[in-house]
Structure 1
Amino acid sequence: MTLPPRSAPAPSGQPEVEGTAPPPKLLDRMRIHLRTRHYSIRTEEAYVDWARRFILFHRKRHPQDMGAAEVEAFLSYLAVERHVAASTQNQAKAALLYLYKQVLGMDLPWLDEVIQAKRPKRLPVVLTPAEVRSLLMHTEGTPGLVIQLMYGTGLRLMEALRLRVKDVEFARREITVREGKGNKDRVTVLPENLIAPLQAQLQKARALHEKDLAAGLGRVLLPHALAVKYPNADQAWAWQWVFPSPVRSTDPRPDVRTGELLERRHHVYPESVQRGVREAARRAEIAKPVSPHVLRHSFATHLLQAGYDIRTVQELLGHADVSTTMIYTHVLNKGGRGILSPLDAL
């Protein structure tokens, strides 16, 4: 869906200047604005999609012609009729906030007053060590290795998939997470049991990379403007993905040097790992809702159960506040906060 440009027409009797490109459409402006500020492709897609839904919901009216009532109506529709989660509603609000304040440059005080959905406080789903063992026994292939890595290191799904060769240090048994949540770097442990499987994975990844180089390709996406500063770094082995996709695809973002759309080999799609977790949980007959993030919860809880300091676990997870890590203490010792039920004392 595209919107008509909001630029004013040329004065009556005055022809438009030939050879000048028309101003970009609103959603294109938003996309360019997000890319200029180095937002991730996933955030870009989400924010542009929420702006598109907001405009379509109000029958293609331009956001400049709308205000607090229309934003409230849209967010209420999401909560009341679509029954979306509070986090989804808040993401929609954040996208509209960005559209008005950053793209349109409209400093609207009412936007900060738009109601913020209150996120419920939920305890995380945590697997027992026996359930984790059963889950891992039913995984296979590259998704299975990613699943083992997530449980063994506490990485988020996208952090695991975005690992590059240079970030895996076998000698020191550590993994460096670059630009994790909150744009922070951190170091976590590399399990000894994964050294051999990861080395085998890197051999397969290198074979794919050499095949791409022979075809005149092999340029991986680099963060920010590193491709301009170091023209050949995107072909270097150190910058390649640890888990490359088996197929090549056209990058939706143009190359920073040439402006062309390049054919690249991206990392493994997150959907394949999510599907692998669901299938493994089904075959293992685990009666809990299991997602890739559950492995991160289980990693933190099992470390605390093993007696590790909560500050250490906080650093491994990359939490800014230890209060976030404290939520994993709910399953320590016995269930029910370690209390012996009076029924068991009879």
Structure 2
Amino acid sequence: MLDKPLEKTVDAIRSTKNRQIPVVLTQDEVKQIITLLEGVPQLVVKLLYGSGLRITEGVRLRVHDIDFEYKQITVRSGKGNKDRVTTFSEGLMPSLKDHLQRVRLIHEQDLQEGYGVVYLPNALSKKYPNASKEWGWQYAFPARSLSTDPRSEGTIRRHHIDQSLINKAIKVAVKKLGIVKKVSAHTFRHSFATHLLQRGTDIRTIQALLGHNDLETTMIYTHILKQGGEGVTSPLDDLNI
């Protein structure tokens, strides 16, 4: 900082952050919470638990990133700006398809009224000028109202829903059920990984589904169960809801 040489050698040890054991729900607790939720919050929480998504990944999901045929979800520019593919619950398909049909009607109405332009990342709007109006690029969970995008010169568009909407719905459901655990949207991602381990899914497969760089990050779930194995289907399908 002072641009002066040190008089003595400093043998400093880099500090490390203590890793805490994550809060995990039982399958019965997950089922109770999801059953109390409704509408968009319920769909998003089912994705968080059924696919291991982070809340930001859930609300930013685009229509073309949901593959109903291959039963998978592509997460674009996740943590660390990485893309990954994760599993998708077959039981969620009917309700999500119905939801997307309603979203498409909203998008078509926006287009008729001169709007319907969605935000595109990484200057893609310059490379593909018409892509911002295409159905596939629209958010799967759009906001209820249009708003001015502060990143543009007064462009009015429909953004994705705010993640606080989901967290508030979760908080209300947890309070009604009397669950004393500290539950947030991220708890469902932790529960996704833990319940896959309980079913015998290989730890490296879970690492890939979660998008962890380091296996040690995923290994924290073994401290809860201390077991491993093979095979992957979405744990949401075990709930029959």
One fold, TM greater than 0.5? Answer: yes
Instruction: Give the TM-score category using the shorter length.
Output: 0.7 to 0.9
Aligned partner of 1:196 in structure 2 is 94
1:133 aligns with 2:31: yes
What is the aligned counterpart of 2:110 among 205, 212, 228? Answer: 212
Aligned partner of 1:228 in structure 2 is 126
Aligned partner of 1:257 in structure 2 is none
Matches within 5 A, 1:164-183: 164-183=62-81
Post-superposition Cα deviations, 1:70-123, rounded to whole Å, max 9, x if no partner, equal xxxxxxxxxxxxxxxxxxxxxxxxxxxxxxxxxxxxx999xxxxx987533211
Whole-angstrom CA distance in 2 between matches of 1:221 and 1:206: 16
Post-superposition Cα deviations, 1:271-300, rounded to whole Å, max 9, x if no partner, equal 100101111111121110000000000000
TM-score by length of 1: 0.61
Matches within 5 A, 1:1-346: 119-254=17-152, 260-332=153-225
Higher relative contact order (CA 8 A, sep 6+): 2
Whole-angstrom CA distance in 1 between matches of 2:70 and 2:116: 29
Whole-angstrom CA distance in 2 between matches of 1:284 and 1:108: 61
Whole-angstrom CA distance in 2 between matches of 1:223 and 1:296: 25
Whole-angstrom CA distance in 2 between matches of 1:108 and 1:183: 37
Q: Which amino acid aligns with 2:120?
A: L
Whole-angstrom CA distance in 2 between matches of 1:121 and 1:190: 29
Q: Which amino acid aligns with 2:133?
A: Q
> Residue 325 of structure 1 aligns to a residue in which SS?
helix
CA 1:108/1:308 → structure 2, altered by over 3 Å: closer, same or farther? farther
TM-score by length of 2: 0.87
Q: Which amino acid aligns with 1:320?
A: N
Q: Which amino acid aligns with 2:89?
A: P
Contact 1:305 1:333 in 2 (8 A): no
Q: How many residues align?
A: 221
Contact 1:248 1:266 in 2 (8 A): yes
Contact 1:304 1:332 in 2 (8 A): yes
Aligned partner of 2:235 in structure 1 is none
Identity %: 51
Please list every run of at least 4 consecutive aligned residues from structure 1 whose deviation after the TM superposition is greater than 4 angstroms.
Answer: 115-118
Contact 1:174 1:189 in 2 (8 A): yes
> Residue 221 of structure 2 aligns to a residue in which SS?
helix
Aligned partner of 1:21 in structure 2 is none
Whole-angstrom CA distance in 1 between matches of 2:78 and 2:157: 23
Shift of 1:331: 2.0
CA 1:283/1:108 → structure 2, altered by over 3 Å: closer, same or farther? farther
Provide the alpha-carbon RMSD of the alignment: 2.2
Contact 1:150 1:295 in 2 (8 A): yes
More displaced stretch, 291-300 vs 117-126: 117-126
> Residue 287 of structure 1 aligns to a residue in which SS?
coil
Unaligned runs of 5+ in 1: 1-66, 69-106, 110-114, 255-259, 335-346
Unaligned runs of 5+ in 2: 6-12, 228-241
Post-superposition Cα deviations, 1:177-234, rounded to whole Å, max 9, x if no partner, equal 0000001000001101110111011111101100100100000000111111111110
> Residue 220 of structure 2 aligns to a residue in which SS?
helix
